[in-house]
Amino acid sequence: MITLITGGSKCGKSALAEKIICVFSGRKFYIATMKPYGEEAFCAIEKHREMRHGKGFETIEKYTDLNEIVLTEKSVVLIECMGNLCANEMFRDGKVINPTEKIISDIKYLANMCECLTIVTNEVGNDGISYESGTEKYIACINEINRRISQFADNVIECVYGIPVILKGELCC
């Protein structure tokens, strides 16, 4: 089962994702994609560690190349978050590439290895602001990734002020 959770910044997506994952038995993996750059990133990472403390998650810090992860059978996985993964893949090694196909392939690879895959992503580009070309390319890329995942996901949920709004499928927690 694949669940995609989207929404704006600080809207409760992560808490909802953890609640969904904790319904399942089996090994629980948290794939952390945020590279720790600067104080704000370190604070966000620490907040997420505290949120999942005592919930049985095994953390895998993996900023790119999710296809290199090997999981145990019947595991459940939370990817936090697609926005970071997209940026990491897109701007790696000083080159700007479109990582859409790679990320979609990596997500399908992980989904085939686990019982439940929950992906946290971000709503971006809905503010009507024009950005520099690199940011515009990122917005287009993450939106394409989100659209593509939503096509094959079993559940798509938008988190609005901590309230889950079911766009596809059902809330399984």
- The CATH architecture annotation of domain 2-167 reads 3-Layer(aba) Sandwich (3.40)
Burial category of 137 from C-beta neighbours within 10 Å (exposed 0-12, middle 13-18, buried 19 and up): middle
Give tens-digit pLDDT for 130-158: 888 888 999 999 999 999 999 999 999 99
Instruction: Report helix, strand or coil for 148.
Output: helix
Give tens-digit pLDDT for 91-121: 988 888 899 999 999 999 999 999 999 999 9
- Residue ranges per domain, the chain? 2-167
pTM of the model: 0.91
In angstroms, the CA 6 to CA 29 distance is 20
| Token pair for 157 | 């949920």
Mean pLDDT of the chain: 91
Give every CB contact of residue 163 below 8 A, 6+ residues apart in sequence: 12
